[in-house]
Chain A
Amino acid sequence: TQTVSQSDAHVTVFEGDSVELRCNYSYGGSIYLSWYIQHHGRGLQFLLKYYSGNPVVQGVNGFEAEFSKSDSSFHLRKASVHWSDSAVYFCAASMNTGYQNFYFGKGTSLTVIP
């Protein structure tokens, strides 16, 4: 059973376009959802997270994500992408059942064409 799934392995857009990267999760208990970005050959950088409250959370560099309990989703969005946003984006979920329970999706590679 995959706790976190990212349906799109690759997404290509033009600079200035909007983009949505999809993430779905499967877990019935308390869950933290987060997004990370990985530029080529680098470590992962935290973008944003959600646990409770306002379902739309703002992150760095104009990224935001919206949580939906009914859809079991936590999609990442940006209104106008820049070529430097080209990277791999990972959705992650952590549960209150132990430190080992921090799961990453397989990642979505975003390519922004200048």
Chain B
Amino acid sequence: AQTIHQWPVAEIKAVGSPLSLGCTIKGKSSPNLYWYWQATGGTLQQLFYSITVGQVESVVQLNLSASRPKDDQFILSTEKLLLSHSGFYLCAWSLVGLWAETLYFGSGTRLTVL
């Protein structure tokens, strides 16, 4: 069975500080990986997706970056946090195919920027 693990569960950070969030998928070889940001109020915004190691596509510009250093790992980071980065970050994976049919999500990381 596939499992998706996100870390940390929650972070409280200061404006201007760096950030690194992680996601690991076990039990699925070479999945497509995604980062989503969920604002207070529930709207989901796709940030990045990756279909292979070392290749990441940006969907929106939010002064964030993402990397896929291993087949099963997806990292979201920034060198300088903004207040607007607060929210709930969700990692997801999908099967490889013509397009993403179904997303499977991790438990999320709650980020509070003060």
Contacts and interface: CB of A to CB of B under 8 A. Distances in A.
B46 interface: yes
Contacts, number: 67
B104 A42 contact: no
Given A42-B107, A43-B90, A94 B49 contact: no
Contacts of A101: 99
B90 A96 contact: no
Nearest to A98: B99
Interface in A75-97: 88, 90, 92, 94-97
Interface residues of B, number: 27
B42 to A, nearest CB: 4
Task: Report, nearest first, the 7 A-B pairs whose CB atoms are least far apart.
Answer: A43-B105, A104-B44, A107-B42, A44-B105, A43-B107, A96-B99, A100-B59
Interface residues of A, number: 28
A94 B32 CA distance: 14
A102 B90 contact: no
A45 B98 CA distance: 22
A100 B46 contact: yes
B66 to A, nearest CB: 13
B108 interface: yes
Contacts of A104: 43-44
A5 interface: no
